[in-house]
Amino acid sequence: MLFFLSGFPALLYQIVWQRALFAMYGINIQAVTIIVAAFMLGLGLGSLVGGILSRKSSVALLQIFGAVELGIGTFGILSLRIFHNVAKFTAGVSAGKAGALAFLLVLIPTLLMGSTLPILVSYLVQVFGNVGHSVGALYFVNTLGSACACFLAIVFTMGHLGESGSVALAAAINLTIGVSALLLSHRSSDPVLLDEETDLDPAHDSAERAGRPLLSMPIAVFVSGLAGFIALGYEIMWYRTYSFLSGGKAHTFAALLGFYLAGIALGSFVTLSVFRRRRMNTLTAELRMIAGFVVLANLVGYLVVPASGRIALGHGSLGYSLPLVTLAAALLGATLPLISDASVRPDSHAGSGLSYVYLSNIVGSTLGTFLIGYIAMDYWSIRKIAVFIACSGLVLGAVLFVGTGMSFSRFCATLALASAACGGVILTSYPLYDRLYERLQLKSEFAPGYLFKAVLENKSGVITVTPDDQVFGGGIYDGIFNVDLVNDRNGILRPFSMSLWHKAPQDVLMIGLASGSWAQVLASHPQIRKLTVVEINPGYLELIALYPGVKSVLHNPKVEVDIDDGRRWLIRNTEPKFDVIVMNTTFNWRAHITNLLSVEFLKIAKAHLKPGGVLFYNTTGSGEVQLTGLTVFKYGMLVENCLAVSDSPLEIDKDRWREVLTAYRIDGDPVLHFDRLSDQRRLVELLSLPVNHEGTRESLQEADYIRQRNRGRRLVTDDNMGTEWDTATLDRIGRKIGHLAGWTKRMEPATP
């Protein structure tokens, strides 16, 4: 029970601490990879520490476990304050230094977390005399607790408690576990190996195992590491798929992780049943079982992504295919207890031996994160990555079968079967992955003949372009290729409005590039002398170069493009000041968008504005976002759904705007041709936009009107995360989880 509860806060910490570090160091793929690797490296080193500490009596082990949990809880209480204080001095450092700092920040708690498994394995081996049984039992209860934490985070903790409340809850659980373990240690004595209510006689089993051949530790380390590599490779691929399917909702990561960990728990439970009912006294039998689990896991894991695309056609939801993740994870999760049982003797060194197997699994997982998520996704499509991972797993399974010892004929048959399986994976990948992103994005509206104009995949995400030139980033609307103010089908009025509310916008920063339409408009503005663009996904540069209406912006001498996270760029570059900062922000409910909408971010942006400077950003219709902006800034105005805010009064001047629009040219072509009646009428419409009117899309709203309309709403902060984890309809979400229906059918604004 204590180790079950121990898994619960660990996942809450992971979710919250990663978010806090992303806010400090960015959410571009480089920062994400570094931070995730820092977490995993800390856990791996912790397993070595736990292995060293594990050579104690059972009473001492309980005391050590209790002290570890108290240490984790104590750090948890202080963690966010520590992170925030460190951020004040280090958030602008280089990527390498950021990685080192992230590692140091999480080193103490991850060392402590990683040490618990070897410590408790050593304790249970003294009770049961069986390594596989001990690892399976602990892995089962701990990962089950972590899975429960993921689901509770979705329906309650993150939305209702925020980051600080979730961490406080996690710390309280750790402290309770620590005190309970210490109290239990005072009532315990070193155990004698006792029988369970099964057919397993631990003492007899231990004696038999003490003399049987073991899998050599180097081979066990290699197999465990490769299994970890395959598992994390699949998880990264699955996360990309489900994030695309859900439109990048914050719930997606927790949902996938919850089903994944539930699978690990299930696999551990299966091996637990195996060790209870059947004595695995031959190494050959154990290796064959490991090989079987590996092969089946890869076949199921390979099918998860295409199955998600097919299931989305009927249900438009990620939940219906997540049980496949659980099944694949269960098959993979069964390997660690089996490998541990095959390579570690059930003696006083069991915890130490297990620590090497566990460390190699974590190292393999870290390499999977880096090689698949950071390198392969820049060069391979998701289909090629799936083929590579599946074939790697099938080869590993074949090698394990061969390692059991067999005749030459069986050896040849095994190699032939493995080769045929790999060939089958390669051949079936083409029809299975055909138009995958079309299926995931359109869901029930997908038609057999439908084909995107362009699909760009890289480590930063997936960009798609529909036949009518709509751009989607990560499966959600991101803009349209259009700079035509007269035939405005993408709200291009908004960047054109700059001279309505700012008298002399010369130096402008734009966070987010997308289709390049806004950048083209701003780069062509008669008053702007320099436009600095910060874009997190370099794939948009490749895309823009393909479209004549916007491609010239890439060569405009006014324009400078930096590939970086917008918040991190502002923190790192403290000197530049701008007349206007522009952000065509994505939907307010998407994962991590709070980093560009919160009170904390707005204060960072304010520090980069010149006197009279304006921040102009998309609120995507959120009253909370609008009220937050008009709380941090005194003055403001809403242009359609974009908020212009400043600490100085906005200088609204329609005559100035008319002059600028008259002089506006894009690639030498006037924006308004006054020999055309349609263009004349358009100018009249723009100069007479209705004020404080919500019945039309094109309108202006004054600050006092916006404040009154949104009175009583909460402000968006880094801690409460805005609407990312909106659980106002808790019962509805709970029912969806119960029916595996996902969380993709929330109402979405029409135009971001």
Task: Summarize pLDDT for 597-648 with one digit per residue, the tens.
Answer: 999 999 999 999 999 999 999 999 999 999 999 999 999 999 999 999 999 9
728 pLDDT band (50/70/90 cuts)? very low
Q: Is the pLDDT of residue 589 over 50?
A: yes
When mean pLDDT is compared across 214-218, 298-302, 407-411, the lowest value belongs to 407-411
- What is the model's pLDDT at position 503? 94
Q: Is the pLDDT of residue 232 over 80?
A: yes
Residue pair 498/525 in contact (Cβ under 8 Å)? The answer is yes
Q: What is the CATH number of domain 2-432?
A: 1.20.1250.20
- What is the model's pLDDT at position 317? 63
**Alpha carbon distance, N-terminus to C-terminus of the chain:** 47
- What is the model's pLDDT at position 497? 97
- What is the model's pLDDT at position 269? 86
More confident residue, 421 or 189: 421
- What is the model's pLDDT at position 727? 52
Task: Summarize pLDDT for 154-192 with one digit per residue, the tens.
Answer: 989 999 999 999 999 999 999 999 999 898 887 765 544
pTM above 0.75, yes or no: yes
Task: Summarize pLDDT for 68-114 with one digit per residue, the tens.
Answer: 999 999 999 999 999 888 877 776 677 667 777 877 888 889 999 98
Half-sphere exposure of 104 (CA within 13 A, CB side): 10
Q: CB under 8 Å to 288, separation ≥6 — which residues?
A: 400, 401, 404
DSSP of 683-750: HHHHHT--BS--SSSS-EEEHHHHHHHTTTPPPP-TTT-TTTT--TTHHHHHHHHHTT--S--S---S
More confident residue, 185 or 279: 185
Half-sphere exposure of 432 (CA within 13 A, CB side): 18
Q: Report helix, strand or coil for 726.
A: coil
Neighbours of 594 (CB within 10 A): 26
- What is the model's pLDDT at position 277? 60
276 pLDDT band (50/70/90 cuts)? low
Residues in the chain, overall count = 752
- What is the model's pLDDT at position 193? 42
Percent residues over pLDDT 90 in the chain = 57
Q: CB under 8 Å to 531, separation ≥6 — which residues?
A: 508, 509, 510, 519, 522, 523, 556, 558, 559, 560
Q: Is the pLDDT of residue 261 over 80?
A: yes
Q: Is the pLDDT of residue 215 over 90?
A: no
Task: Summarize pLDDT for 635-694 with one digit per residue, the tens.
Answer: 999 999 999 999 999 989 999 999 999 999 999 999 999 999 999 999 999 999 999 887
Residue 645: alpha-carbon gap to chain centroid:
31
Average pLDDT, the chain: 86
Token match 């465990």: residue? 224
- What is the model's pLDDT at position 280? 54
DSSP of 67-125: HHHHHHHHHHHHHHHHHHHHHHHHTTS-HHHHHHHHHHHHHHHHHHHHHHHHHHHHHHH
More confident residue, 349 or 162: 162
Sequence letter at residue 458: N
Neighbours of 1 (CB within 10 A): 9
Task: Summarize pLDDT for 471-518 with one digit per residue, the tens.
Answer: 999 999 999 999 999 999 999 999 999 999 999 999 999 999 999 999
Task: Summarize pLDDT for 30-66 with one digit per residue, the tens.
Answer: 777 777 788 888 888 888 888 888 776 667 888 888 9
Sequence letter at residue 61: L
When mean pLDDT is compared across 71-80, 190-199, 449-458, 527-536, the lowest value belongs to 190-199
Task: Give the residue-averaged pLDDT of 721-741.
Answer: 53
- What is the model's pLDDT at position 287? 86
- What is the model's pLDDT at position 743? 33
Give the residue ranges of DSSP H helices in 129-161.
131-152
Task: Give the residue-averaged pLDDT of 339-349.
Answer: 82
Domain 473-738, second-level architecture: 3-Layer(aba) Sandwich (3.40)
DSSP element (H, E) containing 456: strand 454-458
Radius of gyration of the chain (CA): 29
User: Which structure tokens are listed for 30?
Assistant: 């480089």
The domains of the chain are located at 2-432, 473-738
Q: Is the pLDDT of residue 733 over 80?
A: no
- What is the model's pLDDT at position 750? 40
- What is the model's pLDDT at position 337? 87
CA distance 594 to 420: 49
259-297 burial, b at 16+ Cβ within 10 Å, e below that, comes to bbbbbbbbbbbbbbebbbeebbeebeebbbbbbebbbbb
Burial class (CB in 10 A: 0-12, 13-18, 19+), 126: buried
Eight-state DSSP code of residue 443: G
Q: Left, alpha or beta for 491 (phi > 0: left; psi -120 to 50: alpha)?
A: left
CA distance 286 to 341: 8
Q: CB under 8 Å to 465, separation ≥6 — which residues?
A: 452, 453, 454, 455, 471, 472, 481, 543
Strand partners, 702: 637
